[in-house]
Amino acid sequence: MTRGRVAAGLGTAGALLLGVAGLVQATLGAVIPDWTGDKLAPVGLGLLTVGLAGLALVAARRVRPPGLPPGRRAAWALGLAGPGLLCLSTVGVLAWVPAALLVAAAALTVAGGARESARAVAAQWPRVLLSALGLCQLLMAAAAPPWLTAIGAVSGVALVLAAWLPARTGVLVALVLLGTAPLAIVGWFALVPPLVAVVALPIAAVVLRSRPTATVSNTGKGV
């Protein structure tokens, strides 16, 4: 069995277990607080965990093919390890086993090409930082009132999409604004949401400038 298949199997198992943990948090978090971390907003954190489990499941299905380029290998490894580590703060003890499986799957994904994967991550550091800020917004919003949770969830997803989505510049600018302005406005009374926006905007500018520009071939007609 190849390393990719083992990583995919571990990642799939970890993602499914993480999804179950999220459902338990959302439905029984207030009943078994010792197992779920005694969170103030178990429903929001549980739903966030389910969403992150879905991301990990997608990443687990993508690491199976052999010969992945270093950049994709590193990206899918982050897609495995990131949800597992983040959910240690959303579902408490229930995330221990899924997190261990997802981190092991991520390690297997980059094993044998760790140096090349590290170079790929370093080359994309603005995108990685912008994605991390989006995930921070998701975590902040999960413990907020429902209306603020919805705004924070949209903002966090928008920042992650702006970091990686291959779209036109206008679409990416709109995603960056959607990912920074609404939460900063409604959370102006707190320090973190406006601070995230202030940090995210220059990073997003670097991401936009680093995107390759399309070249248009000019085929003029002779006169």
93-118: pLDDT as tens digits: 999 999 999 999 999 988 866 677 67
Higher pLDDT, 142 or 180: 180
Q: What pLDDT score was predicted for residue 112?
A: 66
Average pLDDT over residues 66-71: 77
3, pLDDT greater than 90: no
Q: What pLDDT score was predicted for residue 1?
A: 63
Q: What pLDDT score was predicted for residue 17?
A: 97
Question: What does the alpha-carbon distance between residue 117 and residue 120 come to, in Å, rounded to a whole number?
Answer: 5
Average pLDDT over residues 190-196: 84
Q: Give the start-to-end residue ranges of the domains of the chain.
A: 1-123, 124-212
Question: What does the alpha-carbon distance between residue 142 and residue 129 come to, in Å, rounded to a whole number?
Answer: 20
Nearby residues of 70 by Cβ (< 8 Å), 6 or more positions away: 113, 116, 117, 119, 120
Question: What does the alpha-carbon distance between residue 55 and residue 149 come to, in Å, rounded to a whole number?
Answer: 19
125-173: pLDDT as tens digits: 888 889 889 888 887 777 677 778 788 888 988 998 898 888 888 999 9
Per DSSP, 212 falls in state P
Q: What pLDDT score was predicted for residue 222?
A: 43
Please, which pLDDT band fits residue 216 given cuts at 50, 70 and 90? very low
DSSP characters over 60-117? HHHS-SSS--HHHHHHHHHHHHHHHHHGGGTSGGGGHHHHHHHHHHHHHHHTT-HHHH
Q: What pLDDT score was predicted for residue 173?
A: 93
**109 and 73 Cβ atoms separated by less than 8 Å:** yes
Q: What pLDDT score was predicted for residue 177?
A: 94
Average pLDDT over residues 74-87: 88
Long-range contacts of 197-203 (CB under 8 A, 24+ apart): 199/133, 200/130, 200/133, 200/159, 200/176, 201/176, 203/126, 203/129, 203/130, 203/133
The proportion of the chain whose per-residue pLDDT surpasses 70, expressed as a percent, equals 92
The amino acid present at 98, given as its one-letter code, is P
Q: Under DSSP, is residue 184 helix (H, G, I), strand (E, B) or coil?
A: helix
46, pLDDT greater than 50: yes
Average pLDDT over residues 31-60: 88
Question: What does the alpha-carbon distance between residue 127 and residue 130 come to, in Å, rounded to a whole number?
Answer: 5
